[in-house]
Structure 1
């Protein structure tokens, strides 16, 4: 095996180790296989050509014994986006346009990979040429990923240019606002609400974003949602309301008091707060 192909194999192993967009293959490779290179030392993806790469990818997949649907190898653009190599990404956008919206084994596009890895300069470069409505295997969009990693400036840009992404849900019914709320990211939730994210969006279990914020005990996010008019008494499919989730023994006294006050105040107080916040 030549040095260029060795470098490509190391790059692919780093990508598929679980830190990138691909499936967790390295854990299945066995003791006889080469250890993945750390993400920050991933070598260049330049290799001896596509035939060499296809051959090596086939060998890796056989060694990993992964299912057929996980055998989609990452493209050069995936690897460059994972590494955060802005110059190489710029070159590949011109030379390998067909790779821009290709999905890896997890269904992730290079744009999603760049966002997940926090390479926002690369993400900004890819955004105008990428399909922002693409979804991965969990049916996450780039908006879901931007919320997951808390990239506020990028979320603001997506809201401005592609606000329809706020309504897109994954296979479990999770919207971007659900993600912000379970994380307790108050600033992110505020951005999404200012851009008309739906507080009434339901998961497949009938959970609103407020259910998630209450369950995880995020007082600030709960207060924000309640001020915007979220219903503290709406029940999910298990007959749980946000208030009931905020009333358990594990809930903080502050959270319990917040929901008691919200229920006592009634919907009129919430509507008044919403008007002032949106004004």
Structure 2
């Protein structure tokens, strides 16, 4: 049944693994893209960390709040920066709802995550925002 907790968790799981057709099917059948899991993460944040552009783009188009922070105050942007997903970084930074200066619970920004992992191009993209 769409909207029940198990289906919402399935959406996060499918987004985490970049299973685009499953994500699309779940959303089209009523799963909420804004649903959060026990870590307070949204499917969009999992898709940003995974790097599958189709899944991410689909969820971004459906997501009303791409800056949603999880329990560690991390956002989709910080996960994309950590994993060096350049196209996803660019998509997020073009979205007027995304704030590149947001800090997690330890004061780290998306730029910090990019630099910490040696992702020079990701850092450059963030600095151009």
Q: TM-score, normalised by structure 2?
A: 0.85
Contact in 1 for aligned 2:78/2:109 (Cα 8 Å): yes
Contact in 2 for aligned 1:141/1:165 (Cα 8 Å): no
Of 170, 175, 186, the match for 2:104: 170
Q: CA deviation at 1:185?
A: 1.4
Aligned partners of 2:117 and 2:10: how far apart in 1?
A: 32
Aligned partners of 2:97 and 2:117: how far apart in 1?
A: 21
Matched, 1:105 2:34: no
* Structure possessing the higher relative contact order (Cα contacts under 8 Å, 6 or more residues apart): 2
The residue that corresponds to 1:243 in the other structure is: none
Q: CA deviation at 1:140?
A: 0.5
The residue that corresponds to 1:85 in the other structure is: 19
Mapping of 1:218-229 within 5 angstroms?
A: none
Compared with structure 1, are the counterparts of its residues 164 and 121 closer, same or farther at alpha carbon in structure 2 (3 Å cutoff)? closer
Aligned partners of 2:112 and 2:100: how far apart in 1?
A: 10
Matched, 1:121 2:84: no
Instruction: Give the number of aligned pairs.
Output: 127
Compared with structure 1, are the counterparts of its residues 84 and 185 closer, same or farther at alpha carbon in structure 2 (3 Å cutoff)? closer
Aligned partners of 1:192 and 1:180: how far apart in 2?
A: 9
**1:195-224 Cα deviation digits (max 9, x unpaired):** 1xxxxxxxxxxxxxxxxxxxxxxxxxxxxx
Compared with structure 1, are the counterparts of its residues 83 and 153 closer, same or farther at alpha carbon in structure 2 (3 Å cutoff)? closer
Q: CA deviation at 1:163?
A: 6.7
Aligned partners of 2:127 and 2:61: how far apart in 1?
A: 24
Q: CA deviation at 1:100?
A: 0.9
Of 98, 103, 116, the match for 1:182: 116
List, as ranges, runs of 4+ consecutive aligned residues in structure 1 with deviation greater than 3 Å.
Answer: none
Contact in 2 for aligned 1:116/1:145 (Cα 8 Å): yes
Contact in 2 for aligned 1:74/1:105 (Cα 8 Å): no
Q: TM-score, normalised by structure 1?
A: 0.42
**1:58-116 Cα deviation digits (max 9, x unpaired):** xxxxxxxxxxxxxxx9522112212322122112212124x211111111111111222
Q: CA deviation at 1:166?
A: 0.5
Unaligned ranges ≥5, structure 1: 1-48, 58-72, 196-279
Aligned partners of 1:109 and 1:141: how far apart in 2?
A: 9
Matched, 1:132 2:92: no
Contact in 1 for aligned 2:20/2:55 (Cα 8 Å): yes
Larger radius of gyration: 1
Q: CA deviation at 1:194?
A: 1.4
